[in-house]
């Protein structure tokens, strides 16, 4: 294996007894992509050219700090690592990281504050990290972040106000965040946001008025936000809005300003649409 100096990709299936193979991998200085299942070599940091690292069902509780030495890493994908409890405190040392995917890491509780120093990070996903209760206060320092997915973070209680500083954010998904009661009041400062998904945020009670400043918003999904009783009166200012999903939302009327929106697609129950007076709309498409 040591002679394969030009190997750029290796995928290792969950074969727990290939210890020699794992050790040999770390002697490949030109390896750029690596996917591992079941185990992780202790000398992984020696892969100085590695750009993409995918780990699935790796049975470790704590990530080795040595992973922070992978200076060229652009993608770190950690899926279904059910036992992992924490990430390295100095994860920000992976300076070129653009995508950090932490999905179904069901024992993970804390996201280190140092993540906020990752100036190249564009995509952050915490899907199914059910024990994460809070995010770093300065998360808004991720100035290049374009996509933030917090779906199924059922213990997450609060969204830090600093996310309103993410001027490049285009996609925000808080679906199934059952404990989130409110959104930041200045959410409208996300001027580049195109999609806002709040499906099944069953504790959410208020949509901030500032949302009406989102001139690029295309999709607003409030499906089954049962305690949301009304929408901002100036919702019609969302001139780019193409789809509004209010299925299962507790509103009884739409703001008058929504008549200004041409081609808007509204999704909801038949009875709900009738109660809100949607039948009089001529510029919208109704989906029942």
Residue 104 pLDDT > 80: yes
* Residues comprising the chain, all counted: 288
Alpha-carbon span 47 to 242, nearest angstrom: 46
Rounded distance between C-alpha atoms, residue 128 and residue 223, angstroms: 19
Top pLDDT among 210 and 276 is at: 210
Residues 91 and 95: their CA atoms lie apart, in Å, by 9
- Number of domains the chain contains: 1
Q: Is residue 241 part of a domain?
A: yes
Residue 247 within any structural domain of the chain: yes
Choose between 10 and 69: higher pLDDT: 69
Give 256's DSSP letter.
G
Comparison of pLDDT for 13 and 171, the residue scoring more: 171
Is the residue at 164 inside a domain?
no
- Answer whether residue 65 is part of any domain: no
Looking at the domain assignment, is residue 273 inside a domain? Answer: yes
Statement: residue 288 has pLDDT above 60 = no
* Averaged pLDDT, 188-212: 97
Report yes or no on 58 lying in a domain.
no
Please answer whether residues 138 and 161 qualify as being in contact, where contact means their C-beta atoms are separated by less than 8 angstroms. no
Residue 26 pLDDT more than 80? Answer: no
Average of per-residue pLDDT across 132-159: 97
223-252 confidence digits (pLDDT tens): 999 999 999 999 999 999 999 999 999 888
Residue 214 lies in a domain: yes
Asked if residue 69 belongs to a domain, the reply is: no
Q: What three-state secondary structure class fits 1?
A: coil
For residues 166, 237, 227, 157, the Cα torsion angle rounded to the nearest 10 degrees is 10
Residue at token pair 């030109």: 30
Q: Give the model's pLDDT for residue 280.
A: 46
- Nearest Cα to 227, choosing from 255, 199, 202, 197? 202
Give the CATH number for residue 194. 3.80.10.10
Three-state DSSP class for residue 215: coil
Q: Which residues pair with 245 in a beta bridge?
A: 221, 267
CB 35 within 8 A of CB 56: yes
Range of the domain at 246: 190-288
């Amino acid at each position: 294996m040591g002679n394969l100096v030009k190997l750029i990709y290796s995928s290792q299936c969950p074969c727990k007894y290939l210890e020699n193979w794992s050790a040999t991998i770390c002697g490949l200085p030109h390896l750029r992509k690596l996917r591992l299942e079941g185990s992780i070599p202790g000398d992984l940091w020696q892969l100085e050219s590695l750009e993409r690292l995918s780990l699935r069902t790796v049975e470790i509780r704590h990530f080795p700090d040595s992973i922070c030495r992978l200076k060229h890493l652009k993608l770190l994908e950690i899926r279904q690592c059910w036992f992992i409890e924490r990430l390295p405190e100095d994860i920000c040392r992976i300076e070129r990281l653009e995508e950090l995917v932490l999905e179904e890491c069901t024992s993970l509780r804390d996201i280190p504050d140092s993540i906020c120093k990752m100036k190249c990070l564009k995509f952050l996903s915490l899907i199914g990290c059910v024990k994460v209760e809070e995010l770093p206060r300065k998360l808004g320092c991720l100035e290049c972040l374009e996509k933030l997915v917090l779906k199924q973070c059922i213990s997450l209680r609060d969204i830090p106000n600093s996310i309103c500083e993410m001027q490049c954010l285009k996609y925000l998904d808080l679906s199934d965040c059952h404990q989130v009661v409110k959104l930041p009041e200045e959410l409208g400062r996300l001027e580049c946001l195109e999609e806002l998904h709040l499906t099944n945020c069953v504790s959410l009670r208020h949509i901030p008025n500032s949302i009406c400043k989102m001139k690029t918003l295309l999709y607003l999904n409030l499906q089954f936000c049962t305690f949301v009783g009304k929408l901002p009166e100036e919702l019609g200012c969302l001139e780019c809005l193409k789809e509004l999903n209010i299925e299962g939302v507790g509103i009884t009327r739409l703001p008058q300003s929504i008549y200004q929106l041409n081609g808007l697609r509204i999704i909801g129950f038949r009875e709900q649409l009738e109660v809100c007076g949607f039948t009089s709309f001529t510029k919208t498409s109704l989906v029942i």
